Amino acid sequence: MVQIQQPTKTNKELFTILVSDQMDKQGLKPVLESSIVNVVFESIKDTTVSLDEVDALLIRSATTVTKELIEKMPSLKIIGRAGVGVDNVDMEAATSHGVVVINAPDGNTISTAEHTFAMLASLVRNIPQANQSMKEGRWDRKSYQGEELYGKTLGIIGFGRIGAELASRARAFRMNVIAYDPFLTKTRAEKNNVVPVELSEVLSNSDFITVHTPLTKDTKGLLNRQTLKQTKPGVYILNCARGGIIDEEALYEAITDGQVKGAAIDVFEEEPAKNHPLTKLEQVITTPHIAASTTEAQKNVAEQVAVEVLDFLEGNPAPHALNLPYLEGNIFEKFSPVTKLTRTLGEMTSQLFREPVKQIEISYAGEISHQETGLFNRSFLAGFFRHRIDEYVNEVNSSWIAKQRDVQVVEKHENESQGYSNFVKATIYGEGNSIEVYGTFSQEIGPRIVQVNGFSFDFQPAKHTLYVQHNDRPGVIGKVGQLLGTHDINIAAMQVGRKQEGGKAIMLMSTDKECDKSVLEAFAKIEEIVSVSSIEL
């Protein structure tokens, strides 16, 4: 349904590629050796090339691509970011101008895994400290006695590409590897020869703990005063992923108290981290965010974007495109309500079903079932994976991400629409559980959630939503209202669903602001409450 207008040039013309940031020339060989492009290495601020003639822009992190810049480049067709993130690109402006944006999501996987393992080995053998003592003219063997990795247990929190690479290196050193990832299936764990466990088991059983999760509201401060106290005494902690996953103040205290024997840190919550307290501790080794800084990684990311940009200019699709190509107004208007509904269903089910997923089944009924539903599927997946991975995800790359994570996606068309003109049913299957959510939409009021696991209601999703499972008893709603009022949280709307009087029931409510961890923990004091989940859309 969605098509990209592929670039064309006459035989006498060449495509102009502007490389605005420093980039590995060896990695750029595909475009440098191509006969259809002219490559210019100049900063976009100082380029001698007319901006309205640039067909492709290659950048790293130094160049910021703004809406104003894109508007000055009418011939621009594609932006290639030689790296993982795209924070320095105005994605909305690029999309609205029909400019495809790509990145290099796999380029630094090996370098980050290797750096983490190098930090691990250096930490346990006191190599940086011993090296410094030698530079200071000392010969002090007794002070730097280390430990072997052999037979020790490595606990990996977050088992994506980097976690898997790290696990293979740890097994080569004959370490035991356990992993916690709420979305790690048994099949994938077995495939990578790791033992999937709960977070509590990683904390209590690991000799070394390394974090490789995205930084989200769920993972920020994941290792804090409370969780660090649950670790095995004498544990080593590593973070080469994202600053903020570890509470740095709590880690400092745990090291000085002796609970944590040492730490290796490459990333900090605030960078540059000059004169950081952790760098003053003898038991801590630190590096200035260089896990991805290798010659090979820089070559790889440059080569990945060079190959894909060239392929795109030759008229082929861009498999790592991060933004949806521009849609004509009438097409967008026609399908916007449906994509909004499916994306909302994806976001809701992802946050309600916090466990490994094997299959996603999306069923359509009513008028919508007669449309081309491929875009709606991708919209659902974009919403679903947004809260699970540390990558930019949307309608373009969401199917690819599902495939990479061994999630089977099934599409169905049904006759029964439950009395709605348009009806979507999403069923998520895990290894032992499942969740089923029904939705519909209208042009006037937008998406509506009409059923969750057999509980019926009519709820309009909002930015801040609470999902409460409870026992149907008199006074429960009043207790919930009082609790939220005590925390200065206003209820904007509420729907209650039950199957029978006095049985299990569900509340869905929208609030004026997000409910933080302390609010969610307070729900446990209400006897009738079974569980509560905060949903952020």
The C-alpha atoms of residue 29 and residue 293 are separated, in whole angstroms, by: 20
β 284-286/208-211 pair status:
unpaired
Residue-wise burial string across 472-490, b where 16 or more C-beta atoms lie within 10 A, e elsewhere: beeebbebbeebbeeeebe
**Residue whose structure tokens are 């009924």:** 365
- Angle (CA) 156-116-241 rounded to 5° is 70
Distance from the Cα of residue 69 to its chain's centroid: 28
Asked if 289 is an active-site residue, the reply is yes
| Residues whose CB is less than 8 angstroms from the CB of residue 71 and which lie 6 or more positions away in sequence, other chains included | 93, 97
The encoded tokens of residue 457 equal: 């209601």
CB neighbours (10 Å) of residue 11? 6
For residue 428, the cross-strand partners are 360, 435
Which runs of E-coded beta strand occur in 115-265? Answer: 153-157, 176-180, 195-196, 208-211, 235-239, 260-265
Asked if 528 is an active-site residue, the reply is no
Going by C-alpha positions, the residue among 71, 33, 38, 69 that lies closest to residue 55 is: 38
The C-alpha atoms of residue 351 and residue 423 are separated, in whole angstroms, by: 21
The C-alpha atoms of residue 431 and residue 187 are separated, in whole angstroms, by: 10
Cβ atoms of 370 and 422 closer than 8 Å: no
The C-alpha atoms of residue 262 and residue 123 are separated, in whole angstroms, by: 7
Q: Which of 60, 212, 242, 388 is catalytic?
A: 242
Q: Which of 125, 171, 289, 498 is catalytic?
A: 289
The C-alpha atoms of residue 101 and residue 449 are separated, in whole angstroms, by: 33
Asked if 212 is an active-site residue, the reply is no
The C-alpha atoms of residue 302 and residue 59 are separated, in whole angstroms, by: 9
Q: Which of 33, 271, 414, 431 is catalytic?
A: 271
| Residues whose CB is less than 8 angstroms from the CB of residue 373 and which lie 6 or more positions away in sequence, other chains included | 362, 364, 411, 413
The C-alpha atoms of residue 293 and residue 299 are separated, in whole angstroms, by: 10
Q: Is 294 helix (H, G, I), strand (E, B) or coil?
A: coil
Q: Where are the alpha helices (DSSP H) in 223-268?
A: 225-229, 248-257
The C-alpha atoms of residue 169 and residue 107 are separated, in whole angstroms, by: 18
Active site positions, annotated: 242, 271, 289
